[in-house]
Structure formats: structure tokens, C-alpha cells
Structure 1
Amino acid sequence: MHDPTITPTAAPALQAKPPARWPLILLALPAGVATWSGWVGLGERTGFGVVKPLPGLLDTFEINTAITLPIGVETYAAYALGAWLNRSPRISASTRRFAKWSAIGSLLLGMLGQVAYHLLEQAGIQHAPWQVTTVVSALPVLVLGMGAGLSHMIARDLHAPDEVHAPEPVPEPAAEPEPDPAAEQAVAELIAWTHRVGDGLPPIPAGVEVRAPEGAPEMDPLCTSAGQHYRVMLAAGKVPSVRQLKKELRIGQDKAKQVHAHLTALADTRTLPLEVAS
């Protein structure tokens, strides 16, 4: 039998599997072959070719410098793209911005290089125009500078000290206003006036003392005036809240609590809140 008091524990959240990477191999192989052949062919038409990098040391060692183009341009494009899409919070916004635009620029250069090679191949041109030669010759230096710069920026971000946020200052509570006898007297007079004019109650004759019923604590004239003002509510067994007293009587928190205690005592007597005695 199922016990309703026992709540089943939540099942642990399943971790999503990373996407398979084998499709990247299928994408990279044909793209790599086409890119490699295109850049090598373009390099040979712009002056890149077989050189001896170590003359006098290894005269038999030769290398075709045309392979530097696909290695440099396409590798940097992939490297910058990875830095741009890296989700690490330690990578700064400036580093991501540099990686983003340099990756886009490298991909555009790669596309332009392929287009230039195929146009030259179709036209049967064995020597590229000087404009194409100038741009292609500058690519190794350009890629070296961008790669070194991006590498230093990433290293700077990863080794930067964690920022220590100082706690926000807690605002001090507002101090209660100092009691103002003149203001309290003015409030009392205003309450008496609204009591006489607005509530439709008969005015209190001159020389007549207003006293609280037995059991109510003795208070100042403001409490007595408040008892007159809220007599209908008190007769119904209701007491205005401290917030209502502060708003309607325009008094502070301490004074409102004092008046509230007086009105509560009047309401607890289960009689009229105030009686007029001659």
C-alpha cells in the first residue's frame, strides 16, 4: 500500500551525451583534400615552390613551401573558431571578439584562395597576377601574427586572477523622527475638527472633560483625540493598524504604537471608546 506521507525522491538528472565526432572526419577528409590541392596549386602559381631550408647543413633536404598555405590559413581558422565558441567564463569578451572576426576573415580568405585557384586553372594561367601574388605572399606572416596574438590573449585570460567582489554596503535603517510637540498638537486639533465636522458627531462643549473608560491606560491628548476620531470603529470592535495610524495621523512608528495600544485597550472594554463626562 502506498504511503501518502512518503514522497518519492527525484530521479537524478541524466547528463546529455556529447554529439558524436565521427561525422567531422567525413566532413574534414574531402574538405581537406580539396583545400590542400587548391592552396598548393595557388601557391605554385604565386612563386611558392621547392626550396632547401637548410643549405650547407642538409643540401639534400628539400620542402615545397606551397604546403604552408593550407596548413597556416585553414588551421588558424579552426583554432580561432574554437576560441570564439569556447564556453569557458574565463575567456574575456575582447578575446572572443578578436577570435570571432579573425576566424571569419580566415574562412573568407580560404574561400577566396580556392576561387582564385580554380579560376586560374580554368583559364590555363600558370602565373597568377601580381595582385593575387601579393595577397597570397602576405598570408603566412598574417596568420603567424593572428595566431600568436590569439594565443597570448587566451593565456592572459586563463591566468588572470579571479575578481574579488566587495560586499555591497547594507543601508542603515532610517532613524525615527524626533517627536515634535507642536506637530502633535496640530494633529490633535485637526482630528478634533474632522471629528466634529466630517463624522457628524455633536461637538464637545467647552469646559467638558473627555476621559477614557476604566481599564484604559492614561495617555496624552493625541491618544484621547484618536479615540474620539475612531470611536465608531472601536465600538464595532475594530482597531486601526499601526500603518493606518501613521498614514492618517502623520506620526512616527513609536507614537503610532502608543496610540494603537491605547485604542486596543478602549476596544477591549467592549463599551463606547470614549464617554463624555461633565
Structure 2
Amino acid sequence: MKRNTMLVLLALPAAVATWSGWVGLGEKTGFGMVTPLPGIADGFQINTAITLPIGVETYAAYALGAWLKSGGQVSDTTRTFAKWSAIGSLALGMLGQVAYHLLEISAQAKAPDWITAAVSVLPVLVLGMGAALGHLLARDSAQPAESPVTPASVAQPETPPRATRTPKRTVAGIDDLLPVGRSIAADLESRGLSLTRDRLLKAVRDTGRSMSSDRASALLARLKREADARPAEAVPKQPRAA
């Protein structure tokens, strides 16, 4: 409430000064009393000079509010248009006040032609800018507001699913079967038989031990690695014939 009171106190003297300045300049540039409804209400007259402060200063405040409006409802195009048109309207307002006061202190009842030409086009100029800004704001309000970009909202590339691997079956330790396996391998070798998984599995089970096929395969691979690691026995050389 206090802030609104301060704004009213600031706006009142500015409104009085700009109103009197624009009306005075309008009267020096051909604006004055007219009958807007001839033949209908001949007694109703209006001073067209009031169109200058209402149009120029009101549009300046309107465009300034659109320029400084927070949030994502105002697009960059609309905000840029509002910015420069607000600055232009404020500049026209200042030039109008300067022109009026210079004409007033020099006691000129009629403004020069170039000032009259510039002031006479202001109502049409304000109408065009106001209509354009209104359409831009209506267009922006009809579009959904853009949500701020956050790292979580950025589209992440889809990670292809990893191929499912079949877990390998673990085989129980075979260290306790190594002595039996070595004995069986030596027995088969002495009989001139090759060491195979089926023979190894049958021989171990004949000893009263239980063993699965997987453990038999693991034990067979271990025995073959040991056999490959043993150094080859030296073959005795035959005596050379005399």
C-alpha cells in the first residue's frame, strides 16, 4: 500500500505538467474545440488537444510495462518492440514539453509549420504502435510459456540395453580329487588307454566318491595341464654300430 501511495504522489505532478503542456501545444498546432456528433448532438463539443497527453503518455506507460514485465509470457520480439517504442514515446513526450515551453516563453500563439506537422501525426502514430503491441501481447499470451531449461529436462540419449549374459556355472573345488585323479591317469597310461572324461568319471565313482560331469571335466583339464607341464623324458640314445 505504501508503494502505491508513492507512485500516486509521483504520478500526479507529472500528469498535471504533461497534460497542461500537451493541451497548450495542441492549441498552438491547430487542435481545439470540435463537435464530434454534428446533427445529432450539436451541443456536445470536445477539445481535441486532450488526445495528445492521453495518447502519447498513456502508450509510453503501457509499452514500458510490457518491456519490464517479468516471466516468460512476453517473447523477445514483443519485448524489443515495447522497449524501443516506450523509449520513443518518452522522447516524444519530452520534446513536446520542450516545444510548448519554448513557444510559451516567446509569446508565440502559433507553432511553426514543422512542429504543427510533427504534432498532428502523433495520434495516428500512437494508434498504430498501441495496436501492434496489443496484438503481440495477445499472441504471446495464447502460446504456452516456455519452461526453463534444466539439466534434468534436457533430452538424454537413450542408452541401449546391455546384452544379458548367461552367468557361468561355478564348479566346486577339485583339489581333494587330484590325488585320485593322478592315480587313475597313471593307471590308464600304464594300460595304454587314453584319459577321457567318461573313463575318469567312472573310475572316480568306482572308488565310492560322488562326482558330477562338470567336476569331471574340470579335473580332466587340470590333469592334462599337469601332463603337458611335465618335461619329456629323455630318450636313451642307441649305441652306434661299429
Q: Could you tell me the TM-score, scaled by structure 2's length?
A: 0.62
| C-alpha distance in 2 between matches for 1:28 and 1:105 | 20
Matched, 1:50 2:37: no
Shift of 1:30: 0.7
Give yes or no for contact 2:28–2:109 (8 Å, CA) kept in 1.
yes
> Which of 153, 157, 173 lines up with 1:170 in the alignment?
157
| C-alpha distance in 2 between matches for 1:25 and 1:170 | 55
Matched, 1:73 2:56: yes
Matched, 1:143 2:126: yes
Matched, 1:22 2:5: yes
Shift of 1:170: 1.9
Larger mean Cα displacement after TM superposition, 161-170 or 132-141:
161-170
Tell me, which stretches of 5 or more residues in structure 1 are unaligned? Answer: 1-17, 177-213, 216-275
> Which of 31, 38, 41 lines up with 2:21 in the alignment?
38
> What are the superposed Cα offsets for residues 213-241 of structure 1, whole Å, 9 maximum, x if unpaired?
x97xxxxxxxxxxxxxxxxxxxxxxxxxx
| C-alpha distance in 1 between matches for 2:107 and 2:145 | 59
Q: 1:19 to 1:156 in 2, by over 3 A?
A: farther
Structure 1's consecutive aligned runs of 4 or more residues displaced over 4 angstroms after TM superposition are 162-167, 173-176
Question: Map of 1:227-266 to 2, 5 A cutoff?
Answer: none
Letter matched to residue 65 of structure 1: T
When you count helix as a share of all residues, which structure comes out higher?
Answer: 2
Give yes or no for contact 2:23–2:52 (8 Å, CA) kept in 1.
yes
Letter matched to residue 124 of structure 2: V
| C-alpha distance in 1 between matches for 2:7 and 2:146 | 38
Equivalent in the alignment of 1:254: none
Q: 1:174 to 1:34 in 2, by over 3 A?
A: same
Give yes or no for contact 2:72–2:145 (8 Å, CA) kept in 1.
no
Shift of 1:174: 10
Shift of 1:160: 1.4
Letter matched to residue 112 of structure 1: L
> What are the superposed Cα offsets for residues 155-179 of structure 1, whole Å, 9 maximum, x if unpaired?
1000114569997252445989xxx
Equivalent in the alignment of 2:89: 106
Higher CA-based Rg: 2
Letter matched to residue 43 of structure 1: G
| C-alpha distance in 2 between matches for 1:175 and 1:122 | 88
Give yes or no for contact 2:63–2:85 (8 Å, CA) kept in 1.
yes
Letter matched to residue 33 of structure 1: V
> What are the superposed Cα offsets for residues 62-103 of structure 1, whole Å, 9 maximum, x if unpaired?
000000000000000000000001102111011000000000
Secondary structure of 1:99 counterpart = helix
Q: 1:167 to 1:26 in 2, by over 3 A?
A: closer
Matched, 1:84 2:67: yes
Letter matched to residue 155 of structure 2: E
Equivalent in the alignment of 2:137: 154
Larger mean Cα displacement after TM superposition, 68-77 or 152-161:
152-161
Aligned sequence identity (%)? 62
